[in-house]
């Protein structure tokens, strides 16, 4: 069960406390592999438009089929189904969230990403050079 901030504040009030929500940027703790994947997917997100999505769609569908044949176990099979749903529905906002998200589900979804082969080799190498400089 998830509580809203208001519900949690009311619950805490009964115990003599108040809820204070502090918003501040936090650098996520990512493994090198997770950071590499995020940076490559973030670069793809820059190019994601309805037009590029339509051009990418055949590659995405081929990659999804290939991944489906080679992936077993959870959460990978579930994440592939989520990818398939985003692609079939053309859910641009959902795709952007997964490409750039730093939440655990987005990180795990990128482990079985159908986005392979969409970045030019030059762009891919630029991202990898950037990664080498940061970490």
What is the C-alpha separation between 29 and 98, in angstroms, rounded? 17
Q: How many domains does the chain have?
A: 1
Does 127 reside within a domain?
yes
Does 38 reside within a domain?
yes
Does 6 reside within a domain?
no
Residue 94 has pLDDT above 80, yes or no: yes
Does 80 reside within a domain?
yes
Residue 2 has pLDDT above 90, yes or no: no
- pLDDT category at 134 given cuts 50, 70, 90 is confident
Query: DSSP H helical segments within the chain, as ranges?
Result: 5-14, 32-47, 50-70, 76-89, 92-100, 104-110, 121-134
Does 98 reside within a domain?
yes
Does 56 reside within a domain?
yes
What is the C-alpha separation between 12 and 8, in angstroms, rounded? 6
Residues 97-129 as b/e (b if ≥16 CB within 10 A, e otherwise) read bbbbbeeeebbbbbebbbbeebbeeeeeeebee
Is the pTM for the entire model greater than 0.85?
Answer: no
Residue 127 has pLDDT above 80, yes or no: yes
Model pLDDT for residues 5-55, shown as the tens digit of each residue:
899 999 999 999 998 988 888 888 999 999 999 999 999 999 999 999 999
CA dihedral 106, 108, 112, 118 (to 10 degrees): 40
Does 5 reside within a domain?
no
Model pLDDT for residues 65-79, shown as the tens digit of each residue:
999 999 889 999 999
Q: What is the pLDDT of residue 34?
A: 96
Q: Which domain holds residue 119?
A: 31-134
Does 60 reside within a domain?
yes
- pLDDT category at 135 given cuts 50, 70, 90 is low
């Amino acid at each position: 069960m998830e509580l809203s901030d208001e519900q949690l504040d009311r619950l805490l009030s009964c115990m003599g406390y108040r809820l204070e929500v502090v918003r501040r940027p936090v650098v996520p703790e990512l493994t090198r592999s997770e950071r590499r994947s995020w940076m490559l997917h973030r670069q793809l997100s820059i190019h994601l438009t309805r037009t590029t999505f339509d051009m990418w769609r055949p590659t995405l569908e081929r990659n999804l089929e290939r991944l489906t044949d080679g992936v077993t176990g959870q959460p990978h099979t579930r994440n592939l189904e989520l990818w398939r749903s985003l692609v079939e529905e053309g859910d641009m906002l959902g795709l952007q969230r997964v490409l750039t998200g730093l939440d655990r589900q987005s990180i795990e979804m990128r482990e079985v990403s159908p986005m392979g082969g969409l970045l030019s080799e030059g762009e891919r190498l630029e991202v990898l050079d950037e990664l080498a400089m940061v970490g």
